[in-house]
Amino acid sequence: MRIAITSSGPDLDASFDPRFGRAAYFIVFDEETDTWQSYTNPAMDAPGGAGVQAAQFIANQGVTAVISGDFGPNAYRALSAAGLAMYLAPRGEVPSVRQLLHQYRAGNLEPVAGPTQRGHHGSVKGGR
């Protein structure tokens, strides 16, 4: 399984970024090989539709699960349509990507059953 975690930096020790569509990076961890890769989010500065563009990018990386702080309605629909599981990082915390990965592996993250926020309609502000 490949897991994408939204991140403010390009490595496992970077702080988690609670925004999905506007996160600076996606850290993709491969549980099968115990390796990870960093991707700059190509949708970060999109004038609109960042959540959908980010979802398409992540799906193209072979990811099966995404961990973030919020999922707007369009991103949620795009990720759901691609068959990706979504998990919420704990609110109020700004853990590292590595810490979130450990929480995920321990089964301590909440699965997402619907959008967690309203859409931003082109706004550059994200989540929480």
56 in a domain, yes or no?
A: yes
pLDDT at 114: 85
Tell me the pLDDT of the chain averaged across its residues.
Answer: 90
122 in a domain, yes or no?
A: no
Domain total of the chain? 1
For 57, the enclosing helix (H) or strand (E) is helix 50-60
Q: How far apart are CA 100 and CA 102, in angstroms?
A: 5
118 in a domain, yes or no?
A: no
pLDDT score of 115 more than 90: no
pTM of the predicted model as reported, rounded to 2 decimal places:
0.88
Say which CATH number the domain at 96 has: 3.30.420.130
pLDDT at 116: 85
Task: Residue 24: give the domain boundaries.
Answer: 2-111
Q: How many residues does the chain have?
A: 128
pLDDT at 15: 95
123 in a domain, yes or no?
A: no
Q: Which of the four pLDDT bands, split at 50, 70 and 90, describes residue 127?
A: very low
pLDDT digits (tens, 9 = 90+) for 29-83: 999 999 999 999 999 999 999 999 999 999 999 999 999 999 999 999 999 999 9
Task: Output the DSSP codes for 63-117.
Answer: --EEEES---HHHHHHHHHTT-EEEEPPTT---BHHHHHHHHHTT-SEEP-S-SS
